[in-house]
Structure 1
Amino acid sequence: MGSTWKLAGLMSDDTTGTTRLLLVVADGVRPDVLSEELERGNLPTMARLREKGGLHTISTSFPSVTGPAYAPFVMGRHPASVGMPGLRWFDRARSLPWSYAQARSYSGVDIWHVDGDLDPRSPTLYDLVQPSLAGLMMIARGATHGRVGRGIVWSLRAGWAHFRGDARAWRRVEQAAVAEFLRRFTRTRPTLSMLGILSPDKLAHAFGGDSTIVRTAIQDVDTAIARAQASATADGWADGLRVWVVGDHGHAPVSDHEDLHGWLSSRGHQVLAHPKLGTRGADVALMVGGNAMGHLYLDPARRSRTWWPSLSSRWQSTLTAMLERPSIGLLAVAMSANTVRVFHRDHGGADIVRSHAGHDARWSYQSIAGGDPLQLGGSLSDLDADDAWLAGAASPYADALVQLSTLVPSPRAGDIVVSAASGWDLRARYEPTPHVSTHGALLREQMLVPLLIDGPVTRVPLRTTDVVPSALDLLRVTCEVPFDGRSFLR
């Protein structure tokens, strides 16, 4: 399987030509803040990119958190589709090596396992476009010129800053890694380069997504692009260098922090959750990431996932009680592989039914007793992917039909998936930085991200999954890989 897609990507008529792509990830940058900084003249390099193409607001994948949210623009797939259901998740199948208590947290040493945890049958953009280079990227499988920012020294320096909650120290370490990336970029001239700049996200958690210090950190993105363009100009290949900028998730103010771990314990449950994974006889594994979403794995000794109807007799009271908490925005459970039931405290319940597969998929939204938890205006039927996106464009939950139907029934997802209410997150303790801004939820302000393209498009970009097929079109690479997104260049 692997050799098939690699040959498809590398055997095109012209995999390199004169066109190269630098994709910069502005981690945690809100589209409104980026637009404001462009209008204020604080980002001159990106302003020139916008003049050539445009700035679009698109949706990321749920959960809207660094790590999973990188899968769409590195693999063209929603993260649950390639085995990455969250920043933290529980390995019910006991299939992972080096997994203490069968629990993953990519906010720690498990970051080293990201590439190996992903579905090996699904290629990355680095696999399909070579030579390729990664810098400060959560996913870098297949990058022929390696990954800058993932060595032992970098990890120790970055980890020290992260777990001390020192966002400014993180930015200094990151700036050094960006400098090394640019040196390698200049030397190797890769066809594909991806560079992540995470300081805006780190600083947003501590100071707010629209704070002055975050706006200053966004200038690091502009500076990195300017330096890359200057290097290409000096070496005579700037005419073929294209630059796109994409966000991975939004940010939203948070003032209330739910201790979901403590609440479950107060109901008599034995809870396994990070960072305390030594709980014996756990009947719930709680995996929170972002920190505005979470997975609840019920009866975690069970080795295979099952559907909600077989769990409801024991766990319905817990779901009902959780739904009454002000911190909870949505709860979702899988009724079957193709049906997800969604609950909202004030707006009732509804079923999301997905039929067919791939780009022929259709979605229906079926109200239960007049319920409209996603606030879409009532029942809907036979929507294609574009119509499903548009159906949620004015609702509080961006792209909810596609995102919930993809995540909730996936093999590695929890039996109950939680999206926090506005103003709340779900992890009151164990965070090194007291959060004043959060993400992870299905809420639109956390799901919407910027996409800056230095050229015209032929269709309006909708999702971050659209980036990979579009990049392949830009670079004239043909392959038969099925993606969740569609090219905006054809």
Structure 2
Amino acid sequence: MTHDSTGLRRLLLVVADGVRHDVLADEMDAGRTPALAALRARGSFHAVTSSFPSGTGPAYVPFLMGRHPARVGLPGLRWYDRARSLSWAPAQARSYAGIDIWHVDGDVHADVPTLLDLARPSLAGMSMLGRGAKHGRIGRSVAWMLRAAPSHFRGDLLGWRRVEQQATGAFLSRFAAVRPKVSVLAITSPDKFAHAYGSDSAPVRAAIGDLDAAVAQAQAIAVRDGWRDALHVWVVGDHGHAPVSQHDDLHGWLEAEGLRVLAHPRLHVRDPDVALMVGGNAMAHLYLSPGERTRRWWPTHAARWGATLDALLARPSVDLVATASSATTVEVRHATRGAAVVQRRESPTGPRWSYLTTTGDPLELGDSLHDLDAGTAWEATSATPYPDALVQLSWLATAPRAGDLIVSASPDWDLRARFEPVSHVSTHGALLRPQMLVPLLVDLPVTRPPHRTADVVPSALDLLGISCTTDFDGRSFLRGTPVSAAG
């Protein structure tokens, strides 16, 4: 494939929502996804880290804004706003699992552009985040949501897939008409089937076929209309998946402890002691004394809430608990492996992180680590049970909209036993490796192995020849690539 040297390159970014990198590789190897396999043959395929929480919604931010989601106002699938700044939010609590999905674009910081803002004309289809899409957001209008809502709330997964296939068809029609510089198409059925049947089940693999079909159809449109050489197609996941057989009812447990709990869907609780926001469902934010309008750091909560933290750690469902001691310091705890501190400092070349084993090694990194940049922090953790843990914990736990206690669930557990339309056999959201690793498929060689989904945005801008002064959390994996490298 040749490059267009006159600035007419186009990028279609396909979001493989909830698709595990190993399952996608297996489908390509087996010959069941020929369009995707052809992309891999021309370019490269990688397992990279998502964000913590590893959940639909916030995990779209890195590959569409190049930033950690909590840094731009999206700390989770569900979260609570102490500042009382949210419009149309019962109890100032968000849940993007329902109609609050319409607020994602407004909840992220307005001063940080999306890829759709930066590369126009742009188009979005079924994407959780679509701000800046000049030619619209297929699948997120009232009409489309009314089609999808009955299937979503009844747990009718085949019905959801049919609606999504219709929306994909509408997206491709608009794609043909406007030839977007950047377009984003999300296929979410694999995630829904994974929750119900397992992440490597036959229904998931069938839904991955929808990804392949969409890519093939987009390429056929470009061939038909004479711009095939200008079109690049990349595929990225938002989160992984892991089997779950045990579901802890944190909501019920907190109430049994004598606390008044505000949590979805029970938001009409007067004077709550705790706001519990579970997402994925393998992570949770606990906002302590939510009646207070400003956040306090953990040392000021410890006297009242220390026993609750200890009781949380004693629960088999809880793997890690993180608390922020300051705007740059996070303490992470494990029931048997002790506690450690993650510190962040600013330097002339960007943030740097240290890991100090105070009473133990909860992240299983072997020892203390000092003064790592974003790249070396990723490398130091990439092969561990908690990939990219230092950077992810640092940005999430210290964010203004984050909870005072941040819980990551143990393997085989999630944290929401009630209120789901489909009983989950697979989960995500935690800082655990199977839930944090996602696929990244690009149709040209790279100059360095990608690390994070946040690398997608600066790389896409390099591909398209667009300059930007935004301070991204990711870095380009194409910087310095010669034009002929995709041939």
Relative to the length of structure 2, the TM-score reads 0.97
User: In the alignment, what sits opposite 1:170?
Assistant: 160
1:454 aligns with 2:443: yes
Query: Of 445, 468, 473, which aligns to 1:484?
Result: 473
Match of 1:6 in 2: none
- Identity over aligned residues, as a percent? 63
Alpha carbons of structure 1 residues 389 and 181: separation in structure 2 relative to 1, 3 Å = same
- Corresponding residue to 1:286 among 276, 285, 306: 276
**Cα distance in 2 for residues equivalent to 1:88 and 1:34:** 28
Q: State the Cα deviation string for residues 308-343 of structure 1 (Å, max 9, x = none).
A: 000000000000011000000100000000000000
C-alpha distance 222-58 of structure 1, shift in aligned 2 (>3 A): same
What is the identity, as a one-letter code, of the residue corresponding to 2:458?
P
Q: CA offsets, 1:417-460, max 9 Å, x none?
A: 00000000000000000000000000010000000000010111
SS in 1 for 2:59: helix
Contact 1:358-1:482 at 8 Å conserved across structures: no
Indicate yes or no: 2:385 matched with 1:385: no
User: Deviation of residue 167 (structure 1)?
Assistant: 1.2
**Is the contact made by 1:359 and 1:484 (CA closer than 8 Å) also made in structure 2?**
no
Instruction: Give yes or no for the alignment of 1:343 onto 2:327.
Output: no
Distance 1:59 1:377 in 2: 21
Provide the rounded CA distance (Å) in 1 between the counterparts of 2:347 and 2:143: 44
Q: Alpha carbons of 1:119 and 1:357: their partners in 2 closer, same or farther (altered >3 Å)? A: farther
The answer (yes or no) to whether the contact 1:15–1:477 under 8 Å persists in 2 is: no
Of 405, 409, 419, the match for 2:398: 409
Are positions 1:181 and 2:168 aligned together?
Answer: no
- 2:183 pairs with 1:204: no
Aligned to 2:483: none
DSSP-derived class of the 1:255 partner = strand
Name the CA distance, whole Å, in 2 between partners of 1:488 and 1:406.
Answer: 22
2:416 aligned with 1:427, yes or no? yes
8 A Cα contact 1:331 1:416, kept in partner: yes
Instruction: Supply the AA of the counterpart residue of 1:92.
Output: R
Contact map agreement 1:24 1:221 (CA 8 A) in 2: yes
Question: Measured at CA, do residues 227 and 32 of structure 1 come closer, stay the same or move farther in structure 2, by a change above 3 Å?
Answer: same
Mapped to 1, the partners of 2:103 and 2:203 lie a distance apart of 32
Between 350-359 and 203-212, report the one with greater CA deviation: 350-359
Is the counterpart of residue 398 in structure 1 residue 407 in structure 2? no
**Partner of 1:41 in structure 2?**
31
1:250 correspondence with 2:246: no
* Number of the residue aligned with 2:67: 77
Secondary structure of the structure 2 residue equivalent to 1:361: strand
Mapped partners of 1:330, 1:359: distance in 2: 31
Q: Corresponding residue for 2:184? A: 194
User: Is 1:99 aligned to 2:93, yes or no?
Assistant: no
| Match of residue 5 from structure 1 | none
Aligned to 2:430, what secondary structure does the other structure show? coil
Residues 216/340 of structure 1: CA separation in 2 closer, same or farther (3 Å cut): same
User: Distance between the aligned counterparts of 2:155 and 2:236, measured in 1?
Assistant: 25
3-state SS in 1 of match to 2:386: coil
Give the SS at the match of 2:356. strand
**SS of corresponding position for 2:424:** coil
Whether 1:235 and 2:228 are equivalent positions in the alignment is no
The CA deviation at 1:394 is 2.1
TM-fit CA distance, 1:18: 2.3
Instruction: Tell me if the contact between 1:296 and 1:414 (Cα under 8 Å) persists in the aligned partners.
Output: yes
Whole-angstrom distance in 2 between the partners of 1:358 and 1:408: 23
Per-residue deviation, 1:357 = 5.9
The alpha carbon displacement at 1:391 in A equals: 1.3
> Could you tell me which amino acid in structure 1 is paired with residue 288 of structure 2?
L
Superposed, 1:47-66 pairs within 5 Å as 47-66=37-56
Q: What's the counterpart of residue 10 of structure 1?
A: none
Check the 8 A contact 1:64/1:440 in 2, yes or no.
Answer: yes
Residue pair 1:288, 1:426 contacting (<8 A) in 2 also: yes
**CA-to-partner distance for each residue in 1:139-181, whole Å, 9 max, x for gaps?**
1111100100011121012111111011111100000000000
CA distance in 2 between partners of 1:204 and 1:185 (Å): 28
CA distances 1:379-424 after superposition (whole Å, capped 9, x unpaired): 1101111111111122111110000000001000000000000000
Residues 1:33 and 1:358: Cα distance change in structure 2 (over 3 Å): farther
Change (3 A) 1:358 1:172: farther
Q: Where does residue 343 of structure 2 map in the other structure?
A: 353
Which range moves more in the overlay, 182-191 or 387-396?
Answer: 387-396
- SS of 1:92's equivalent in the other structure is coil
What's the CA shift string for 1:275-310, capped at 9, x where partnerless? 010111101000001000000000000000010000
- 1:213 CA displacement: 1.0
Q: Deviations over 1:457-479 (max 9, x none)?
A: 01110000000000000000001
The residue aligned with 1:31 is: 21
Instruction: Tell me the SS of whatever aligns to 1:441.
Output: coil
Compute the TM-score of the two structures, normalised by the length of structure 1.
0.96
Q: One-letter code of the match for 2:133? A: A
Letter matched to residue 90 of structure 2: Y
Across the two proteins, how many residue pairs are aligned to each other?
476
Q: What is the CA RMSD across the aligned residues, in angstroms?
A: 1.1
Alignment of 1:445 with 2:434, yes or no, is: yes
Once residues 16 and 349 of structure 1 are traced to their aligned partners in structure 2, the CA distance between those partners, rounded to angstroms, is: 55
1:294 match: secondary structure? strand
Checking the alignment, whether the CA contact within 8 Å between 1:129 and 1:477 is kept in structure 2 is yes
Residue type at the aligned position of 1:223: A
| Structure 1 segments of 4+ aligned residues over 6 angstroms from their partners | none
Q: 2:103 is paired with a residue of what secondary structure?
A: helix
The farther-off stretch of 387-396 and 46-55 is 387-396
The residue identity in structure 2 corresponding to 1:347 is R
Aligned residue identity for 1:186? A
Instruction: Supply the distance in 2 between the matched residues of 1:460 and 1:449 (Cα, whole angstroms).
Output: 14
Report the residue type matching 1:442 in the other structure.
Answer: L
Q: Letter of the 2:40 partner, please give it.
A: R
Shift of 1:15: 11
Match of residue 7 from structure 1: none
The alignment partner of 2:184 has SS state of strand
Task: Write the letter of the residue equivalent to 1:246.
Answer: V
